[in-house]
C-alpha cells in the first residue's frame, strides 16, 4: 500500500499583510487548495445559510464570528478536502480555534507574514472592499474599474 504524504499549511498575518495575494501565488505554483475562512463566510452570507445569517451580524459590526460557529464551519470544510494538500487562510484567529485545529489535523507549516506596521497602515489606507463580493481593491495599484464614490 502506498500512503501519500499530505501537506497542510496555515498562513497568518494582520489585515493588510498580503495573505490573500501571497496565498494566490503559492497555490498557482504548488498543488494546494486555498481555503479562506473569510471567503467561506462570505459565500454562506450570500447564500443566506443558517451560519451565514448568524455570521453576517458579527461581520457587519466588524467583530469576529464566535469560535464555535467558525470552527465548525472551517473543520467541516477541511474534512471535505481531506485527500488534498491545503493552505488555510484566516483561521485560526483565536487560541480556542488554534486548539481545535491542532486536535483535528497535523499542520506541517505555518507561514507568518511579518510586515512593518507603517507598510500595513499605508496599504489599508488605500484599501477598498466591495461588500457584496468581498473583492479587495487598492487605489494605488489595483483600483476598482468603477471609481469609488465617497460622500
Ligand atoms: P477576512 O476576509 O479574513 O478579513 O474575514 C472577514 C470577516 O469574517 C472578519 O472580519 C470576521 O468577522 C470573519 N472571520 C473570518 N475568519 C474568522 C475567524 N477565523 N474567526 C472569527 N471570525 C472570522
CATH number for the domain spanning 86: value is 3.40.50.300
- The residue whose CA is least distant from atom 1 of ligand 1 is 38
Read off the C-alpha cell for 20: 490573500
Residue whose grid cell is 485560526: 92
Identify whether residues 48 and 108 lie together within a single domain. Answer: yes
Which of 17, 43, 90 has most ligand 1 atoms within 8 Å of its beta carbon, as the pocket-test mutant? 90
DSSP 142: B
pLDDT digit string, tens, across residues 84-99? 999 999 999 999 999 9
Identify whether residues 39 and 49 lie together within a single domain. Answer: yes
Cα 65 to averaged position of ligand 1 atoms, centre (Å): 7
Identify whether residues 48 and 101 lie together within a single domain. Answer: yes
The minimum-distance atom of ligand 1 relative to the CA of 19 is 3
Angle, vertex CA 14, rays to CA 13 and CA 20, nearest 5: 65
pLDDT digit string, tens, across residues 50-105? 999 999 999 999 999 999 999 999 999 999 999 999 999 999 999 999 999 999 99
Identify whether residues 81 and 99 lie together within a single domain. Answer: yes
Calpha distance 19→89 (Å, rounded): 7
Looking at the 3D structure of the chain, how many domains does it have?
2
Q: Are strands 33-36 and 8-12 parallel, antiparallel or unpaired?
A: unpaired
Identify whether residues 49 and 99 lie together within a single domain. Answer: yes
Predicted local distance difference test score (pLDDT) of residue 145 = 83
DSSP 3: P
Structural domain includes residue 74: yes
If pLDDT is split at 50, 70 and 90, which confidence band does 151 have? low
Predicted local distance difference test score (pLDDT) of residue 143 = 85
- pTM of this structure: 0.84
Q: Are strands 86-89 and 8-12 parallel, antiparallel or unpaired?
A: parallel
The minimum-distance atom of ligand 1 relative to the CA of 89 is 3
Identify whether residues 134 and 107 lie together within a single domain. Answer: no
Identify whether residues 110 and 136 lie together within a single domain. Answer: no
Residues in the chain: 151
Identify whether residues 130 and 67 lie together within a single domain. Answer: no
Range(s) of the domain holding residue 17:
8-115
Amino acid at each position: 500500500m502506498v500512503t501519500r504524504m499530505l501537506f497542510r499549511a496555515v498562513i497568518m498575518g494582520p489585515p493588510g499583510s498580503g495573505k490573500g495575494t501571497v496565498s494566490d501565488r503559492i497555490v498557482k505554483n504548488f498543488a494546494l487548495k486555498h481555503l479562506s475562512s473569510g471567503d467561506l463566510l462570505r459565500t454562506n452570507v450570500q447564500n443566506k445559510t443558517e451560519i451565514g445569517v448568524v455570521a453576517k451580524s458579527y461581520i457587519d459590526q466588524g467583530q469576529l464570528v464566535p469560535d464555535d460557529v467558525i470552527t465548525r464551519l472551517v473543520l467541516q470544510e477541511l474534512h471535505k478536502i481531506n485527500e488534498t494538500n491545503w493552505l488555510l487562510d484566516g483561521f485560526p484567529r483565536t487560541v480556542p480555534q488554534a486548539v481545535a485545529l491542532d486536535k483535528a489535523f497535523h499542520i506541517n507549516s505555518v507561514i507568518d507574514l511579518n510586515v512593518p506596521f507603517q507598510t500595513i497602515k499605508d496599504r489599508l489606507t488605500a484599501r477598498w472592499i466591495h461588500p457584496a463580493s468581498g473583492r479587495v481593491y487598492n487605489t494605488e495599484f489595483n483600483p476598482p474599474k468603477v471609481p469609488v464614490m465617497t460622500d
